[in-house]
Amino acid sequence: MAREFADLVQGKWDEMKCVCVGLDSDVRLLPPVLGDDDLNGGKQFRFNRAIIEATADLVCAYKPNSAFYEACGSRGIEDLQRTIEFIHEMAPEVPVIVDAKRADIGNTNRAYADYLFEYLNADAITVHPYLGRTTLDPFLERREKGIFVLCRTSNPGGGELQDLVVGPTGRPLFQVVAESVATQWNENQNCGLVVGATYPGELTMVRDIAPDLPLLVPGVGEQGGDLEDSVRRGRRRGGIGTVVNASRSVIFRSRGVDFAEEAALEVSAMNKRVVACLRAA
């Protein structure tokens, strides 16, 4: 039976889990204990495997950023594919969101979709809205996948365009994107929005505009976003509704031999904070 992203993430929300571990496995930061690439697998895959083995029962999802693997050429792409395969085998109930931020004209997007969904076997991806709805058809037509559209990103310069007042209603562009995705693009009930934890006010606005869409919330940890505040502001009617991502603060909490154990301790602590926050609401 085909994997359904919506069912997978809902299963994790039912377990009161919403913490996503970003597998942004920058080779320059990997623990020295991993040594060099060898015949038993590339360094990125071996690092990811250890993190996954330590955290698989704790997470809502995993989110590898494709840039860190593409930077390593064919070996990195192979490590990304093997990482996703390993997650599917070891933790088949945990969805994988590939943070690829793809956007192009339709036929190019079809090739991207084949690569991300057929070769890599991702359960969900991130995409840009700038080229418009019809160019995203090759992604949106995949009913079983999750399509997270960039809305209000976590980086400090995101407002340069996202906060521009546009259209006859005089609203910021990110609000227009949120409404368009919620009311026009989500015909297959597989859309979500990316909203950074570093902009809590905007997170509240997006949730008000799109009360039912899943939100992917990056920016917790190294970027300074607040975990509990993000969970409260992003919560949707009748459930959690957010996938809150932490990357460097989890996977690089230690660069010693205990790197995987330390990552698990951090995710476990985050889970306890999420549960306490939800119960207090």
Give the pLDDT confidence score for residue 192 in this predicted structure: 98
Q: Domain boundaries in the chain?
A: 5-280
**Contact (CB, 8 A) for 195 and 217:** yes
Q: What is the pTM of this model?
A: 0.96
Top CATH class of 5-280 equals alpha beta
**What is the pLDDT at residue 41?**
61
Structure tokens at 215: 């939100």
Residues assigned a catalytic role: 101
**pLDDT at residue number 95:** 98
Percent of the chain's residues with pLDDT above 70 = 98
Task: State the pLDDT confidence band at 221, using cuts at 50, 70 and 90.
Answer: confident
Distance, in Å, from the CA atom of 63 to the CA atom of 84, rounded to the nearest integer, reads: 10
Does residue 19 contact residue 244 with C-beta atoms inside 8 Å?
yes
CA–CA distance, 93 with 118 (Å, rounded to integer): 19
Confidence of residue 1 (pLDDT cuts 50, 70, 90): very low
Average confidence score pLDDT of the chain: 95
